[in-house]
Amino acid sequence: MKKKIVYILAAVMGLMVASCESEKPAFTLSQDTFNDISPEGEVLSIDIQTAGDWTATSINDDWCSVYPGSGTGNGTIRIEVEANLSQDRTGSVVVYCNGERTNINITQSALPAGQELTYRIPLIFHVLYQDANDPYQYITLQRIEQVLDKVNQYYDGITIASGGEDSQDINLEFVLAEADESGNLLETPGVEYIEWNEMPINCESFMQSSNERILNLMWDMNKYVNVMLYNFADVSGGTILGISHLPLTVQGANQLEGLQTVAYTSLENENLGYPQCVSINSLYFDEDTPQGYYNPLDANVTLAHELGHYLGLHHAFNENEGNTCVDTDYCEDTPPYNRDYYILSRESFIERDENGDIIGILPGVFDREDCNTGNIFTSYNLMDYEFSYADRFTPDQRERMRHVLEYSPLIPGAKRTAGTRSVAPQGVLDIPIIYKVCGVGYHQTCVKSK
């Protein structure tokens, strides 16, 4: 009789243990260790199997991001590991489920000395529209892809016009963003359509604005370049095609001449009281240049030009007023020329009808006079415009852009200062707003103190 009682008790205890264990859902990860992650960076995908709630947090969020941060039941998390320019590193993503902690361990080596990183910079196009049926407001993904393909050709060093010096491959590709700031895949890659009740928009007011509605349009500048597409309001004296802020440079050993300096290697959107971005006039976004023709409104050139500003390039011509000859773009291989003089002299190469419209041009309209040497040169530079072949960059321009990519805060991609980050305090910093205004018969550098 005693044996039966013992057996019964044992059976009951076994059922109780099984019942307790069944209350805690099973939890497994498809992989919890990643060794030898490429120095170029990778996106990892890990499957979670559980019936319970879970959270995922990166311990090293400055170079390793995890999406989504939480969930219930089976799911998949993406871990984005940034490229590594500094030194070998290890990190982890911590997953909590059922009160237990599991680490996903990551090891990544640094880019070998002498090897250059290929930057892949995500763009998010914010299309502001008032009328979704207006093709000059509601720009299609297809058109954005066409323009971006051409822009990437320019940055790959593929020239269109013959003659001039060889162009530079910047070793940079602009890509349409695949996911939003929370890691959710975008239904329309790289494009966000936003209904806007004011159209057209004064582009300079937009670029200087501290209005929260405009500031909130900006996605994380450390991960995306924000490109705004909207109808620009008219200005007197010409047509504005694009406008871009210049990047920042960190004071000290890695400071870059010609850019506004800051004291911190790491900034956030909240540190700026204005929307650091590129704005493009969508009224002309359908403009191309047919083979054998010249079109100063070409949207491909406009976007390539403005992205050049965003990466630290100034205009290739002398931006100083008057007759002084100064190298204002800090690139010795772009001859400075007096733009005011050029605009006056170019009329001899232009044929106009009785209404003043251009009906023909002579090749000489593409030539400029180096104001230092008096030598005549032909304009092929993308940072020049208006009667320029505008299809290439120079070695010095390449060097400036690579410097901005590797050192400037609020520019997407890996930084050489990752191991010695200095983080800015919360809140808006006292940083002047500096941007370039570009168009037909119109150019301007604007500085506004905060």
How far is Cα 185 from Cα 372, in angstroms, rounded to an integer?
53
Output the pLDDT for position 20: 40
Contacts of residue 50, defined as CB under 8 A and 6 or more positions apart, other chains included, come to 25, 26, 27, 28, 73, 74, 97, 98
Q: How many CB atoms lie within 10 A of CB 172?
A: 20
**Whether pLDDT at 98 is above 50:** yes
Q: What is the pLDDT of residues 218-229, one digit of tens each?
A: 999 999 999 999
Note the pLDDT of residue 445: 53
CA distance 286 to 437: 20
- Angle between helices 141-155 and 299-310 in degrees, nearest 10: 60
Mean pLDDT of 104-132: 94
Read off the pLDDT of each residue in 392-409 and give the average, rounded to a whole number: 97
State pLDDT tens for residues 323-339: 678 889 999 999 999 88
Mean confidence (pLDDT) of the chain: 88
Q: Which of 155-164, 314-323, 395-404 has the lowest mean pLDDT?
A: 314-323
- The class that CATH gives domain 27-108 is mainly beta
* CA gap 364, 387 in Å, rounded: 10
Buried residues in 403-424 as b, exposed as e (16+ CB within 10 A): bbbbbbbbbbbbbbbbeeeeeb
Band of residue 448 on the pLDDT scale cut at 50, 70, 90: low
Q: Given phi > 0 = left and psi -120 to 50 = alpha, else beta, which region is 413?
A: left
pLDDT-above-90 percentage for the chain: 62
**265 near 421, Cβ under 8 Å?**
yes
Residue 387 is predicted with a pLDDT of 87
Lowest mean pLDDT among 19-33, 74-88, 117-131, 394-408: 19-33
Q: Which residue has the higher pLDDT, 109 or 325?
A: 109
Residue 411 has pLDDT above 50, yes or no: yes
Q: Is the pLDDT of residue 24 over 70?
A: no
Cβ contact 370:140 at 8 Å: no
pLDDT band at 16 (very low <50, low <70, confident <90, very high): very low
Number of Cα atoms under 13 Å in the Cβ half of residue 319: 20
Average pLDDT over residues 139-151: 97
Structural contact between residues 8 and 16, judged by C-beta atoms closer than 8 angstroms: no
pLDDT for 335-375, tens place per residue? 999 888 888 888 888 888 888 777 788 888 999 999 889 99
Q: Report the 10 Å Cβ neighbour count for 298.
A: 21
> What pLDDT does 18 receive?
41
**Per-residue buried b or exposed e for 259-291, using 16+ beta carbons within 10 Å of the residue's own CB:** beebebbbbbbebbbbbbbbbbbbbbbebebee
CATH number attached to the domain at 119-316+379-448: 3.40.390.10
27-108 and 119-316+379-448 agree in CATH topology? no
Task: Tell me what pLDDT residue 8 has.
Answer: 47
Residue 21 has pLDDT above 70, yes or no: no
CA separation (Å) from 180 to 82, 104, 191? 16, 23, 10
Token pair, residue 372, equals: 């230092």
Among candidates 315, 325, 282, 328, which has minimal Cα distance to 442? 315
pLDDT band at 290 (very low <50, low <70, confident <90, very high): confident
340 and 317 Cβ atoms separated by less than 8 Å: no
pTM, to two decimals:
0.89
**How many whole angstroms separate alpha carbon 417 and alpha carbon 253?**
11
pLDDT at 177: 97
Is the pLDDT confidence value at 250 over 90? yes
Provide the pairing of β-strand 100-108 with 33-37.
Answer: parallel
3-state class of 375 per DSSP?
coil
pLDDT bin (cut points 50, 70, 90) of residue 399 is very high
Q: What pLDDT score was predicted for residue 241?
A: 95
pLDDT score of 12:
45
User: How far from 388 is each of 289, 346, 382, CA to CA, in Å?
Assistant: 12, 12, 8
Domain ranges of the chain: 27-108, 119-316+379-448
Looking up tokens 């205890």, which residue turns up?
A: 13
